[in-house]
Amino acid sequence: MTVTIVGSQLGDEGKGALVDLWGGDADVVARYQGGDNAGHTVVEDGDEYKLSLVPSGAVRDKVGVLGNGCVVNPKTLFSEIDELRDRGLDPDVRVARRAHVIMPYHRVLDGIEEEAKSDSDLDAGTTGRGIGPTYEDKAGRRGIRIGDLLDPEVLRDRLEYVVPQKRALAEDVFGIQAGEAFDIDAIYEEYRAIGERLERESMTVNAGAFLASHVDAGESVLFEGAQGTSIDIDHGIYPYVTSSNPTAGGAATGTGVGPTVVGRGEVVGIVKAYLSRVGTGPLPTELTGDDEDLADCIREKGGEFGTVTGRPRRIGWLDVPMLRHAARANGITSLAVNHIDVLAGLDEVKVGHSYDLDGEELLSMPATTERWGRCEPNLREFEPWPEVDWAAVAAEGYESIPENAREYLDYLVEEVGAPIYAVGVGPDRAQTIELQNPFEQ
Ligand code: IMP
């Protein structure tokens, strides 16, 4: 049995809480794309763990796998593992030998290119972690993979080919002084030591074979998507996207199990009751102008500041065409809706039900971002719901959610065409009301 958790919006939907909740029923939790751009906060008994690379299941003693579709900054990996160990946990993390490594020059180039693009409004507002440049090198067949760190000769050969190119790019194209991040010998020494630690701690695996053996043994695997559908490189708002596939198809290509393995399981779309966005680009339902105060209120209450970068997030009403798009692109079989408590006590609650584009009503997202930017949302208003004791609601269950909020949830079920399996009414794991465990089908 597999369960795939995908972000239905722009990332930051609160996937970590659900992965953590259902990860308890999984034997293995695998990430299939992205890298240390994915901030997830897991709250366990009031203890907060901020992770950006280690799968959140690690907080619950699960085997965590970083699949071949991930890009791995080994320094982040080790610092997160070391911190979890310092806090008394014993995370078991395995890394695909086919996963690509984020090298020091990737991070530098990420920053330079964003800077260069900013004159033309094409900067994506990246997290600056080197994600895009690493995926570029993967597609350009000049990347360095985790498996290469284990083999001194291969590592040396690869570096000798690629680093001079990167140095020339930095110096001749972007006109910056290339420093240590572009020094073959320094990189070689550091990354050989990393390879030795990976080997010493038996952390590397052939991810596809490793996961298949668990699936074949009848164990449960949870695929943890990072980011969200609308920042998917293929299905998102290109070019304001991340460089991987957060959509459910990525769970197969990014781990090495077949799409049938993923498709036989559940695909749970995680939805936040409003929108937030750390990056640039259009956002039709954004709360701006007269609605700035409302945006501030939601931002503060929802803690909408980037986990990785600390940047304040832009805020908007829930965008339902975006959800219909996500339902199709992922084959969503069920939903988990988070943060309905954040909208409590507002004077008004709205959603973008459809778009108006050039006099036509659209129910889903257009394929170009320029057209999406010209969409005017047709807002639908809901009766607001009051502030209540959400901890008590969480303890009592779904029926104790205020009636108006339940109407809002019923509307989502109807529009997206999938049942709700969980509702988040607060940040702690205990504040997620479970209606159905996707592993118990
Ligand atoms: P990158 O993934 O750092 O290359 O950033 C590309 C785009 O994806 C930017 O708009 C980022 O803000 C956005 N992004 C990357 N990771 C996350 C995430 O975990 N949550 C929300 N947005 C993200």
Could you read off the pLDDT tens digit of each residue along the chain, which spans 441 residues?
Answer: 999 999 999 999 999 889 888 988 999 999 999 999 987 777 777 788 888 999 877 877 889 999 999 999 999 999 999 999 999 999 999 999 999 999 999 999 999 988 888 888 888 889 899 999 999 999 999 999 999 999 999 999 999 999 999 999 999 999 999 999 999 999 999 999 999 999 999 999 999 999 999 999 999 999 999 999 999 999 999 999 999 999 999 999 999 999 999 999 999 999 999 999 988 889 999 999 999 999 999 999 999 998 777 889 999 999 999 999 999 999 999 999 999 999 999 999 999 999 999 999 999 999 999 999 999 999 999 999 999 999 999 999 999 999 999 999 999 999 999 999 999 999 777 899 999 999 997
Q: In what helix (H) or strand (E) does residue 255 lie, and over which residues does it extend?
A: none
d(CA 160, CA 100): 17
Say whether 20 is catalytic: no
| Residues 202-227 as b or e (16 or more Cβ within 10 Å = b) | ebbbbbbebbbebbeeeebbbbbbbb
Q: Can you tell me which atom of ligand 1 is nearest the CA of 110?
A: 4
CA distances from 328 to 70, 365, 400 (A): 24, 11, 31
Burial of 176 (0-12, 13-18, 19+ CB in 10 A): middle
Active-site residue 12, yes or no? yes
Exactly one of 20, 40, 137, 428 is catalytic; which is it?
40
- Ligand 1 probe mutation, 13, 106, 126, most atoms within 8 A of CB: 126
Mutation to probe ligand 1, out of 56, 109, 114, 231 (largest number of atoms < 8 A from CB): 231
Closest CA to 349 of 390, 311, 402, 396: 402
d(CA 355, CA 325): 13
At 319-331, the pLDDT tens digits run 999 999 999 999 9
Number of the ligand 1 atom closest to the C-alpha atom of 279? 10
Q: What pLDDT, on a 0 to 100 scale, did the predictor assign at position 382? A: 98
Span from the CA of 128 to the centroid of ligand 1 (angstroms): 9
Computed from CA positions of residues 319, 321, 327, 333, in that sequence, does the dihedral angle turn out positive or negative? Answer: positive
Compute the distance between CA of residue 128 and CA of residue 243 in angstroms, rounded to an integer. Answer: 13
Closest CA to 198 of 187, 190, 209: 190
Give me ligand 1 centre to Cα 234, in Å. 14
Query: Could you report the per-residue pLDDT of 167-222, keeping only the tens digit for each?
Result: 999 999 999 999 999 999 999 999 999 999 999 999 999 999 999 999 999 999 99
Pairing of strands 40-44, 47-51: antiparallel
For residue range 104-155, list pLDDT tens digits in order: 999 999 999 888 888 888 888 898 999 999 999 999 999 999 999 999 999 9
> How many Å lie between the centroid of ligand 1 and the Cα of residue 253?
20
CB atoms within 10 A of CB 15: 28
Pocket of ligand 1 (CB under 6 A): 10-12, 37-39, 124-127, 129, 131-132, 226-227, 231, 240-243, 278-279
